[in-house]
Amino acid sequence: MALTNAQYDSIIREYERVRLHNERENNDRIAYINEHYPEYSRLGDEIASLSAEHIKATLGAGGSSAEDIIRRIDELSKKRADLLIKAGYPADYLEVKYNCPDCKDTGYIDGRKCHCLRQNIINILYSQSHISQLLKEDNFSSLSYDYYEGEDLSRFKSAVSAARSFTDNFDKDYQNLLFCGTVGTGKSFLSCCIARELLDRGYCVIYFSAVKLFEALSDVMFNHGDPEESRSVLSDIYECDLLIIDDLGTELMSSAVATQLFSLLNERHLSQRSTVISTNLTLEDLKDRYEDRIFSRIAQRYSIYRISGPDIRRIKRTAQTPGRKE
């Protein structure tokens, strides 16, 4: 989950390049408007002069009241905006167009990583794993009902409807999902569909297999590696917009893992940050494997969808193997 120093430096250099590019483009727009619309430039000079007068007024050294100066500045600013609009430009034409308005292309807000920086880091990490390719292949546009029939089809359609509703209402309604069922029935596929949809909308999404998740958490807990890096990893896992845990139950179980899982699920719930879990375990298996406090939080706080049917991955592998028949 950690970047190398070279990778991080490369990201920050790209932020600087983008920010400077956007600011230069805005300076070019300002120069053009000032040259072709002298009245706009004159109004700007008046506003600058009044701003200096406002500073004096706030210090008690000006002849006009600060409130009166602010009113005059507002009037001149409105005139400038009207002038731009009449010339065929939007009122905010001469404001810097940042790629990320929240951090103004710096990557940080009040000393904390902006969501865009966090996602850029995650994207690089994904590009080094199979997840990036997985998200290209597994998405709602490639969804098919052809492998299901009867009750299996009804269950899958219900799970798909829940996944679509989850993404459609992500910014309005806090939800958590649990997809359970046998191997290859579409649980991970739906998790990837959700991840792809929300990543495309600009949300910060982290997708972990259960094994890799608890490896990362253990590294943090036992201070493996750089402490600052560890804090960053922990922050990303706990604070990302959506955390997806795939194949819960495949991790090596221990009291430390149980503590980590409870803390993670509980803290994300308290901060109203959504989590999606997929597992091959039945609800009875989950109850037997994990502490009551973990199972009760999943049972109470997650919408649970059981998916059944054939092992689709096995069917696809068979179909891709020349000369092989079931």
**b/e burial code for range 231-257 (CB count within 10 A of at least 16 → b):** ebbbebbebbbbbbbbbbbebeeeeeb
For residues 290 and 258, the answer to whether their CB atoms sit within 8 Å is yes
Give 63's DSSP letter.
Answer: S
Cβ-contact 272, 146 below 8 angstroms: no
108-109 and 112-113 strand pairing: antiparallel
Distances in Å between the Cα of 122 and the Cα atoms of 188, 213, 237, 264, 309 are 19, 14, 11, 19, 33
Residue 181 contacts residue 266 (beta carbons within 8 Å): no
47 within 8 A of 111, measured Cβ to Cβ: no
Per-residue pLDDT tens digits of the chain, which is 326 residues long: 456 677 888 999 999 999 999 999 999 999 999 899 999 889 888 888 888 887 777 776 656 677 888 888 888 989 988 999 999 999 889 999 999 999 999 999 999 889 899 888 877 766 655 566 677 778 888 899 999 999 999 999 999 999 999 999 999 999 999 999 999 899 999 999 998 888 878 788 888 899 988 888 887 777 655 666 667 778 878 888 899 999 999 998 888 888 999 999 999 999 999 999 999 999 999 999 998 999 999 999 999 999 999 888 888 877 765 554 43
**Which numeric CATH code is attached to 129-320?**
3.40.50.300
The position carrying tokens 């997809």 is: 179
Rounded to 5 degrees, φ, ψ at 102 are: -70, -45
Q: What pTM value is reported for the model?
A: 0.65
Two tokens at 260? 């980590």
Within 13 Å, how many C-alpha atoms sit on residue 273's CB side?
20
Q: Is 83 exposed, middle or buried (0-12, 13-18, 19+ CB in 10 A)?
A: middle
Backbone angles phi, psi at 313, to 5 degrees: -60, -40
Alpha-carbon gap, residue 232 to 270, rounded angstroms: 20
Domain ranges of the chain: 5-86, 129-320
